[in-house]
Amino acid sequence: MKPTDVGRLLRLSLAPTAAADAVAGIALASAGVGPFPARGAWLVASSLCVYHGALAWNDWNDRDHDARTRPGRPLPSGAVTPLVAAGLGAALVLGGVACAAFVSWLAAAWMAGVAALALLYDFAGRGPWLGPLLIACCRAGNLACAIVALPLASGTTPLPVPIAVVPPLFYGAYVFLTSRLGRMEDAEDAAPLGQRPRTLLIGIALVPVLSVAAFAASLASTGAPSWSRSAPGLAAAAVLAGVGMWSVAATALRTPAWTRAQVERAMGACLRRLLIVTAIAASLSTTLHGGAAGGVAAAAILCGYPIAHALRRVFPPS
């Protein structure tokens, strides 16, 4: 067994997206003002462990199905044994909850809930709607953990409810639609593709744009900061949404007939753009008090994009 085989099992090209969930949540919990709480680093570690541990369990449970549809994956090909995959999955999930406990009991309980949803998906939550919904709840929960737990752990003021809800809600919507698209990669969805991928991709491209509009509305509903304070963050987030999602929309509109291979490529692009969605959330944090730290967090998240792109050749994301 080679380290690269383990990396393929864990899909390490997606590690930047799992870390970005927590970073965006920390930026929002801190209202974009630095320095961020040092204990937030434990939430980054927790997110990575729970996410990749759940992926290992997913492949362990899917090994017979993958033997028929994707025989080159680490488990059906024999590159990684089922025992190793199960051991890694258990150690990472438990380690993720333990990392969150260094923040607070609430963070540990929250991440235990995220892990439970992930394992429910792995073992019992499949289906055309339930599966994508569970995955969306996991990723939204990853981002929301810091928003919920960090203010209580550090004694700072929690975000008003409308502002706190919008980023995880729209992030979950993005993941839900992307997961629906992912079902079309193989025999999980054997129905004719038709133009269903196009419809989903257009929805995926619109979600980040709508998230900026909804966040602006939530600011207004809670007594928005001065325009001079909130405008730069809203503008930066809007630019990210437009530039980042343009190619997704273009792919949807210029593809006349879809194949499974084209869906797989589109799915990979949408997964990598998870970083753009979380960078948007971090950028939006700067609207609250005009702090620059949220912008720094967004830039750091975007630095994960070329890393994820480079890693995908060795560790495919799907």
Residue range 235-261, pLDDT digits in tens:
999 999 999 999 999 999 999 889 888
Contact criterion met (CB below 8 Å) for 86 and 61: no
Q: Give pLDDT tens digits for 5-64.
A: 999 999 999 999 999 999 999 999 998 888 898 999 999 999 999 999 999 999 999 898
Q: Report in angstroms the alpha-carbon separations of 238 from 164, 206, 247, 258.
A: 18, 11, 15, 30
- The pLDDT score that the predictor gives to residue 289 is 78
Contact criterion met (CB below 8 Å) for 73 and 60: no
Among 118-122, 154-158, 182-186, 218-222, top mean pLDDT goes to: 118-122
Q: Round to whole Å and give the CA distance between 90 and 76.
A: 20
Supply the CATH number for residue 26's domain. Answer: 1.10.357.140
Q: Return the higher-pLDDT residue of 157 and 187.
A: 157
Contact criterion met (CB below 8 Å) for 95 and 42: no
Q: How many domains does the chain have?
A: 1
- The pLDDT score that the predictor gives to residue 268 is 82
**In the predicted structure, residue 180 carries a pLDDT above the cut 90:** yes
**Within a domain: 173:** yes
Q: Minimal CA–CA distance to 131: which of 73, 175, 187? A: 175
**Within a domain: 52:** yes
**Within a domain: 317:** no
**Within a domain: 208:** yes
**Within a domain: 180:** yes
State which residues form the domain around 294: 3-311
- The pLDDT score that the predictor gives to residue 233 is 87
**In the predicted structure, residue 79 carries a pLDDT above the cut 80:** yes
**183 — pLDDT class (breaks 50, 70, 90):** confident
**In the predicted structure, residue 145 carries a pLDDT above the cut 80:** yes
Helix (H, G, I), strand (E, B) or coil at 35: coil
**In the predicted structure, residue 187 carries a pLDDT above the cut 70:** no
**In the predicted structure, residue 226 carries a pLDDT above the cut 70:** no
- The pLDDT score that the predictor gives to residue 224 is 63
For 168-184, b/e burial (b = at least 16 CB within 10 A) is bebbbbbbbbbbbbbbb
Q: Report in angstroms the alpha-carbon separations of 133 from 118, 125, 176.
A: 11, 9, 6
Q: What percent of the chain has pLDDT over 90?
A: 64
Contact criterion met (CB below 8 Å) for 145 and 107: yes
Q: Please state, as a whole number, how many other Cβ atoms lie within 10 Å of the Cβ of residue 266.
A: 25
What contacts 121, CB < 8 A, 6 or more positions away? Answer: 54, 58, 131, 134, 135, 138
Contact criterion met (CB below 8 Å) for 131 and 179: yes
Q: What is the mean pLDDT of the chain?
A: 91
Q: Please state, as a whole number, how many other Cβ atoms lie within 10 Å of the Cβ of residue 264.
A: 17
**Within a domain: 316:** no
Burial class (CB in 10 A: 0-12, 13-18, 19+), 49: buried
**Within a domain: 264:** yes
Among 60-64, 218-222, 285-289, 298-302, top mean pLDDT goes to: 298-302
**Within a domain: 318:** no
> Can you tell me the mean pLDDT for 157-176?
94
Q: Round to whole Å and give the CA distance between 157 and 159.
A: 7
Q: Give pLDDT tens digits for 83-95.
A: 999 999 999 999 9
In this predicted structure, which of 4-8, 20-24, 121-125, 208-212 has the lowest mean pLDDT?
121-125
**In the predicted structure, residue 192 carries a pLDDT above the cut 90:** no
